[in-house]
Amino acid sequence: MKQIIVGNWKMNGLSADADALVDGLAAQLAALSPRADVVVCPPFTQLARLAPKLKQAGIKLGAQDCHKDKSGAHTGDISAPMLVDLGVEYVILGHSERRAEHHELDETVREKTVAAMAAGLTPIVCVGENDDQRSAGDSQATVGWQIEGSLPQGFRGIVAYEPIWAIGTGQAASQQDIADMAAFIRAELVRQFGDAGKTMQILYGGSVNERNVTDILPVEHVDGALVGNASLKADAFVPLVRAARAS
């Protein structure tokens, strides 16, 4: 199974900048013949515009959220079928910024995950502990509760571990921290989903960059990376793809 490198643009990307970034990615990846699957998750405003460019470049299209309902009176929201209609294949759910800024609970994330799977999307469900939880020695307990609460029965998707205390700091978790948590997440997935949990992909996210990616991707049970800031420049993102391995 190939590793997967996912770029989360967050709330960044006006049209001219988005076009330039995708053009740069397409040019560099064409020369690379990447051993990883590459997914780009632009803001909603750029999905339809960038879908043809990304498809031509062999880059898969992802979104940053979806609603739990197929349609209805939900002003400002986007449903999973709407994303599929635009050519989206993946959707990030339960990111720490959504959990914090929009007060999303595990139950909310689980409902969105059910909707995403029903529409044919691959959900990328984020889990991770904050600095207080880590300092209290509750990292694994926190992530375990999030996995149990956020992943529905019959889950078919990806789990992304993002230690909140590392996001945006430029300092990723240590290789040992990542290895310990990835092994714990794998055990939890197997406990909840049996044999299916053995092959679910686990990503690491949290200040992934060119300097630390070669320490992160070889870690056992790490099947790729969810990348924030470094995904906003082709010259910063492509080296992460280059570092990926086909396993």
Active-site annotation, residues: 95, 162
Task: Tell me the pairing of strands 37-41 and 60-63.
Answer: parallel
Per the CB < 8 A criterion, the answer to whether 101 and 164 are in contact is no
Pairing of strands 224-227, 158-161: unpaired
Please indicate if the annotation marks 8 as binding a ligand: yes
Name the nearest CA neighbour of 42 among 66, 64, 59. 64
Question: Can you read off the two tokens belonging to residue 55?
Answer: 């498809």
Length in residues, the chain = 247
Distance between CA atoms of residues 95 and 85, nearest Å: 23
Which amino acid appears at position 90 of this protein? Y
Rounded to 10 deg, the angle between the 139-150 and 175-193 helix axes is 40
CB neighbour class for 179 (10 Å; exposed up to 12, middle 13-18, buried from 19): middle
Q: Is 9 annotated as a binding residue?
A: yes
Among residues 206, 121, 137, 213, the alpha carbon closest in space to that of 171 is found at 206
| Residue 207 known to bind ligand | yes
Partners of residue 126 on adjacent β-strands: 160
Beta-bridge partner residues of 90: 62, 122
Q: Which residues are annotated as a binding site?
A: 8-10, 168, 207
Q: Which residues are annotated as a binding site for substrate?
A: 8-10, 168, 207
